[in-house]
A and B are shown apart, each in its own frame.
Chain A
């Protein structure tokens, strides 16, 4: 163990980073909380002062809030479903000994290196545009009417884009987990008469449970705040069809210039994120002990 001297040294060295991080978190949070109880609209600058719960009542009472909440749920749930199932499948495939394995793995992981707005633009113009997108051409090649993805299936389109970005992350974590399974255990199961499906169900899946938990936890935290993909593609529309909580905060606070209501929405988003985090820790975090 560390001596008293090294402990003091460690604390002194870490202090600046911790203090800066704390300020960077605490100050905006305090300001958001403060603004959320103020009358603070840029459209109506004369109206100032304490607003009480008015901002919260306004945000929660608006029908767009319920829709944004549901959209957030579908977005997170949909992406998790695609990435966990798809990631498991890809990990199983990548675990097979094949020629060019190293290059293939880098290719599979590469979408993760593309920043969100760029990824969204690639999908928007390269694939999903009904006029010159690849999917449009594909549809036309089969003599079908091209789909206008962002107008007809706005939320689904966003889910696809975000899932594409997060699939590599899930694949990578699950592949690592898969590779840590001892070869002897697989062979023992094979000797015990388990076919490929049973080996997956009784040996491989339980072994990966922990990694799946980690993927779900980490992704949920990030997916609750998805913003760039919506901003670049649908702009939250049509109507509120693809607006999640984070984007609703942006619409209220920045697009509608109502800083007070936007802050209230932000505080609600923080509360929701915390509830989800606690719920997740309880529900799936049990896998992490052991």
Chain B
């Protein structure tokens, strides 16, 4: 069991209010991702749940039990840190066994659980090595192993993949998702990378300046962003925003169109523009087109070979135009 509920949680460091007022309900077994730009309070929120920071006001409940003032060890949560935080002087085996040893688990049971975790994470042949003799991905797995053996109510991940190279990151992303399907334990995952958020999450919490902008499934956020911030944050490349007269035609203060929802033509269309930069990825091409209302990004297939200075016509998909009012809320 591992349902987590936050009610009116507030956190201030001195005069600086990092999290004004957050209420969230996270169901048992859910994979929830906290995503947002750096400094949005997502790590602080995770640390509040972990118990590494004191809440200024509000309540945190685990399985219905108030743990607001409980020390971290009592909450039964396991955390994987950004720097892995392995104990450098201990072997991999001792690292994984450490939480069990602290809980005074019998040695036979420790051995059984460590071996099980090591098999699950493909660490069996590294058990006697020191962390410094491991690669980044292996260290990450040891950190996860240390979390698994405790059989926690929930796992907390604090940007665990940001120190890995791109290829390994994709790998570990899959491994963590698989692990979640296998263990079916609640997981909270903090990241600034919206791709990680979209691919891994059951539900995403988009945070901005300590406020929850939207809480929903990845496709919900993509299809029905609640406001301009979420619309711009979710999706890659990011949504194009157009203000002024062109937005006025749609009875909105501003409108947004995703790069993948713009049709490109050399002869006709709604908006005319000149190609500024063309980014070719092989599978896709991203064109940055200069128009009368600013630079727009357009996603097109990889066979297009436009270059700087080419004249093109753009037509937005009329069903996929997002409208926002003056306050940035979706209409």
**A positions within 8 Å CB-CB of B:** 182, 184-185, 187-195, 198, 202-203, 206-207, 209
Contact = CB atoms under 8 A, between A and B. Distances in A.
Given A190-B52, A192-B98, A193-B99, A184 B81 contact: yes
B249 interface: no
Contacts of B85: 182, 184-185, 187-188
A191 B50 contact: yes
16 contacts: A182-B83, A185-B86, A187-B79, A188-B85, A190-B73, A191-B79, A192-B73, A192-B102, A192-B150, A193-B73, A193-B102, A195-B102, A202-B87, A206-B90, A207-B88, A209-B89
A59 to B, nearest CB: 45
Residue in A188, A190, A195, A203 whose Cβ sees the most chain B Cβ within 10 Å: A188
Interface in B79-103: 79, 81-83, 85-90, 98-99, 102-103
Contacts of A184: 81-83, 85
B146 interface: yes
Given A192-B99, A195-B102, A198-B102, 13 more contacts: A182-B85, A184-B81, A184-B83, A187-B52, A187-B72, A187-B79, A191-B51, A191-B72, A191-B73, A193-B99, A202-B90, A202-B98, A209-B89
Contacts, number: 60
B83 A192 contact: no
Classify the interface of chain B: helix, strand, loop or mixed.
loop
Interface of B: 50-52, 71-73, 77-79, 81-83, 85-90, 98-99, 102-103, 146, 150
B207 to A, nearest CB: 21
Contacts of B82: 184
Classify the interface of chain A: helix, strand, loop or mixed.
helix
A188 B150 contact: no
Contacts of B150: 192-193
A191 B51 CA distance: 8
Contacts of B77: 191
Contacts of B90: 202, 206
A180 to B, nearest CB: 12
A207 B83 CA distance: 17
Contacts of B87: 185, 188-189, 202-203, 206
Contact of A188 (B71, B81, B89): B81
A185 B90 CA distance: 12
Contacts of A202: 87, 90, 98
B154 to A, nearest CB: 12
Contacts of A209: 89
A184 B79 CA distance: 10
Nearest to A199: B102
